[in-house]
Amino acid sequence: MKRAVYPGSFDPVTYGHLDIIKRASEIFDVLIVSVLNNKDKTPLFSVEERVKILREATKDMPNVEVDSFSGLLINYAAQKDLHIAVRGLRAITDFEYELQLAQMNRKLSEGRLDTMFLTTSLEYAYLSSSSVKEIAYFGGDIGQCVPDFVADLIYKKFNTNQS
Ligand code: PNS
């Protein structure tokens, strides 16, 4: 049984993430989407909220599970007996950071955790959680970036409405 983890902040999940989740779920028997509980960051959504949002957004993908983790990804992966991390690559600007992360994880895990990259579909290449938050903060339209129920939750957080 081939299992993989897709780790990330997912604050909030975008259509770009969902595209990677869908495609990875067609490659692996089980895909665990895991939300990083990063105490150094002040997220828009709590880990619990992000997990709930991801569960709702992936409810039609039966082999996708949603979880959360704290600390190092290699320790979480070892605990769960996972050996492949999936990450999406949008543009060359992602590459340097992702390469470093992948190589660091491989080295730290002594080869037990490898990374597989999927290139983001072109229609989502421009998307990022931070730009979605900024647009929503100023009341712009994020309807093409995130599912409707996620957009509603984001506007509610900022107390803004689509202009
Ligand atoms: O969605 P993001 O914020 O780009 O995801 C980054 C993530 C969660 C994959 C990465 O920050 C991570 O794995 N953090 C956990 C701590 C860790 O293992 N760091 C790697 C050692 S440098």
Q: What is the pLDDT of residues 114-132, one digit of tens each?
A: 999 999 999 999 999 999 9
Cα separations (Å) of 90 from 35, 61, 97, 133, 151? 19, 23, 12, 18, 22
The pLDDT value given to residue 145: 97
Contact 50, 7 (CB under 8 A): no
The pLDDT value given to residue 40: 78
Positions in the chain whose pLDDT score sits under 50: 163
Beta-bridged to residue 87, according to DSSP, are: 117
Is the shortest distance between the CB of 86 and ligand 1 below 6 Å? no
Catalytic positions are 17, 41, 90, 129
Is the shortest distance between the CB of 78 and ligand 1 below 6 Å? no
Is the shortest distance between the CB of 146 and ligand 1 below 6 Å? no
Nearest protein CA to atom 16 of ligand 1, as residue = 72
Q: Which atom of ligand 1 is nearest to the CA of 11?
A: 1
